[in-house]
Chains A and B, each alone.
Chain A
Amino acid sequence: MKNIKRMLVIFLVAVFVLSACTPTATPTAADVAPVQPTDVPVQPTDVPAAVESPATEVVEEAPEEEGTCLVVGATYGGPINDAGYNLSMHEAVAAIKENIPCVEIIEAENVYDEAGAASTMENMISQGANMIFATAYAHQNPAFELSKKYPDVIFEHAGGWMMSGNFANIFGKPPDLWYMKGVAAGMMTETNKLGFVAAFPLAWTNVFVNAYTLGAQSVNPDVEVIVAYTFGWGDSAKEADTTNSLINQNVDVITMHVDSPQTVLSTAESRGVYSIGYQNLAAQQFAPEYWITGSGFTLGGKFTWLASTVIDKTWTPIFLRCGFEDGCMKLAPFGPAVPQAVIDKVAEVQAGLEAGDLLAFAGPIYDQDGVLRIAEGEVLTDDAMSTVDWLVKGVIGSPK
């Protein structure tokens, strides 16, 4: 018996050793092309003008060995079909390939932590990636460390603030859209209480809450915004609980900053409460009746442009923030319950923001404790936004 076992071991080991020794062809496009299991259903996106590329199609369009002009690696902090942030980022990355067919894309989703991010990105580089899009906020540090190690690879991080010779940053300008959403919410609310479900008290989140509040207060000075944290980017049970808690405080408009708006929207819808979406324009499907509006990232154009500059070797590190005026962000269509007056007002505000007459974060702005944070005549600049650890007056909830 022991002999048989021993032979089995030797046989199996031999099989593995032999397979490891097969001459490895240079990874063909089929090996490293954007790979999705082929049974992923095409995402239903009935949103006009959003850049769409259903995952399966990207697989089938593997380049025909003409020569790849660029290999792009992209890491996501969550699943790419979350109808939220990661879907938006995935769509933007996929847009690169749509617009520049000779580009190869390698993607890795659900890279939750920094440790995984570092080795994932390094693996991508070893597979030939010349450009890395680190789309999750938490990937900034590992990406930055890697950029020092691989000076020939270009790194773009979404939503951070670090910069170096081969490391740059790109993001939309959500605060403006949040301001507009706040305007809509401020006009739609009947109880003057708005709710905000947030994952963590990150600077970005605080900025969003503040912009939302300021927008609402601009049309309705008595409004209050209550913010509550779930401490997870995708803890759906907590999100449902938190949404309900907010509604039980007589909140009648709910919005969120978590990865996927799905649970919050469904829960609000089931309680008959208005909701405003974020992250991706596909979110509306979850709240057909009480949806007011939402916003999403549509960074496909900018990602494509960045990739093209890498191909042309004209890339320079830019702290890129583009708003809806550049097509990087979009306000979602309004829901059926929204009256024309609200739509008009929001359009008016949008025009003002676009023209630069109206600024979301123009001083004087006081925080919850009454401290003056932004003086009269001053404005909160884009790069200062990552330091915000306070909430404006009129917000209930504690960020620390």
Chain B
Amino acid sequence: MSLLALLGVLSSMIYSGTSLLYATIGEVVGQRAGIVNLGVEGVLLISAATGYGVTVTTGNPFIGVLAAILAGGLINLLFGFLVISRKANQLASGLAVMFFGVGLSALIGKPFVGQKINSLPRYMLPGLDDLPLRISSLFRFDLLIYLVIPITILVWWLLFRTKWGLGLRAVGENAETAFASGRNPNLVKFQALFVGGLLTGLGAAHLTLAFTMNWAEYMTGGRGFIAIALVIFAKWHPIRAIVGVLLFSGAVAFQLLLQVSGVRISPFILDMVPFILTLVVLVIWGGSSKHAAPATLGRVYQGTE
């Protein structure tokens, strides 16, 4: 394994992991308030199509990013209407949002398939200019990548160091008690979903405008579901989510590395590795995840314990 290949894995992890991380912490915020959104996939798709469309129309990717962020927040509010105002089952509503997202994004994105865009500009990581182009081009990152860790820390800070975050978590643990202590649980949940949607939209923006630089139907390919899995993996903690995302996207990058370095393992098996790895690590390492969950989280944790 050459240095380039290993650095390549690192770069790939960062590139494909960024959108995943945004979506994951977006879901963390929502789940901390007690709401599980299985429809992250749909939110990602709508945000991506919107962001892409706006970028094509205006020619400015930054406006596209804003559009994607906003779209994500709005769709999550729609979801919130279902599960908070109408008290609908969260899992079913989430899947409904997923189907909705697949359909709506196809409609929004249709005129823009195959159009080229000005993608988000990329900036070299400082201090690497002297390296040969092949290596340094690995580390030309766009703005959203540079922002992902700071924003994750910001979310952590919001959740664990502010009154708003405290209230949010209180609502997620026990809405009645939170209500008794003067908070409005429904309002807090809506806020949580909105913020979560904004973050998810950010992830979608990175996916289309910086990483793949195109739009195609169902281009997220399951990322939303992986984000949900990683939330549980991270025990609902934004900082731990970084580890989960790195693990998963690292596995994806690594299996690609194996494929291209001539290892004669079936590419199908290699393709499965990241999922199996996540499952195995979850089982070994995340055993007590049940108790870390916000107590009122969806109906998923109802049952015997």
Contacts and interface: CB of A to CB of B under 8 A. Distances in A.
A binds B: yes
Interface of A: 37, 39-41, 43, 78-79, 81-83, 87, 110, 195, 201, 226, 228-229, 231-232, 234-242, 244-250, 260, 262-263, 266-267, 270-272, 282, 285-286, 396-398, 400
B216 A260 contact: yes
Contacts of A236: 212, 214, 216, 219
Contacts of B106: 110
B72 interface: no
Contact of B110 (A79, A83, A396): A79
SS class, residues of chain B in contact with chain A: helix
Given A228-B267, A241-B256, A260-B214, 14 more contacts: A228-B256, A236-B212, A236-B214, A237-B212, A240-B16, A244-B8, A244-B11, A245-B259, A248-B4, A262-B114, A263-B213, A396-B260, A397-B259, A397-B262
Contacts of B116: 262, 266, 285-286
B305 to A, nearest CB: 37
Contact of B133 (A43, A272, A396): A272
7 smallest beta-carbon distances between A and B, as pairs? A248-B8, A236-B212, A245-B256, A396-B262, A81-B114, A83-B114, A234-B216
A251 to B, nearest CB: 8
B137 A82 contact: no
B256 A43 contact: no
Nearest to A81: B114
Please classify how large the interface on chain B is, using the bins under 10, 10 to 19, 20 to 34, 35 or more. 35 or more
B280 interface: no
A245 B257 CA distance: 6
7 contacts: A41-B111, A82-B113, A237-B219, A239-B212, A245-B256, A248-B11, A397-B267
B2 A250 contact: yes
B267 A229 contact: yes
Contact of B216 (A79, A229, A240): A79
Contacts of A240: 15-16, 211-213
Contacts of A229: 259, 267, 271
Nearest to A201: B267
A241 B110 contact: no
Contacts of A286: 116
B114 A248 contact: no
Contacts of B85: none
Given A201-B267, A237-B211, A248-B8, A260 B260 contact: no
